[in-house]
Structure 1
Amino acid sequence: MRLLSTIMLALFLVFSMSGAVLAQEAQTNTTDPIIVGNQDAESLQVVQSYFETMDSNLLAEDVSYFDEQSIQAIEGRDMLTQSPTFMYGDSFTEQQLTPLRYIVTEDVVVVEYTFVGRNTGSYATLPATNQLVSVPTVGIYHVEDGQITGIREYMDSDDLYTQLGYPAYTGVQPVAPFTLPEPNAVDDIVDNPPAFYGQEVTIEGGFGEMVGPNAFTLWDEDFIDIGQEGLLVLAASDGAFDFTPVEETMLRVTGTVYEYDRASLEGTVGYALDEGTFTDYQNFTVLVASEIANMDNVDTLANVDQQPESFYGQTVTLEGHIGDTVGDSAFVLFRDQLVGVGGRVLVIAPDFDPATVENNQVQVTGVVQPVDAPTIVTETGLTLDENLLSDYQDWTALIANEVMSVE
Structure 2
Amino acid sequence: MRERKARALSVGREDGRFRTWGVGLLLMLASALFLASCGGAGDEPASGSGEETVPAGEEAESAGQARAASVADILDNPSEFYGNTATVSGLVTEVVGPNAVVIGGGELVNEGLLVVGAQQLDQIVEGVPEGEAFEIQQQDLVQATGNVREFNLNEVEQEVGYELDQGVFGEFEGRPAVVADSFVLTPQAGGTTMMQQGTNVGITEIVDQPAEFYGQNLTVSGAVAEVIDPNTFVIVNEQTAEQEGLYEAEAGALGEQGVLVSTSNGPNLTEQQTVQVTGTLEQFDAATFEQEMGVQYDVNNEFVSAFADGPAIMATQVQPMMQGGGTTSQ
Q: TM-score, normalised by structure 1?
A: 0.33
Give the structure with the higher percent helix: 2
TM-score relative to the length of structure 2: 0.39
Structure of higher CA gyration radius: 2
If asked which structure has higher relative contact order (CA below 8 Å, sep 6+), I would say: 2
Structure with greater proportional strand content: 1
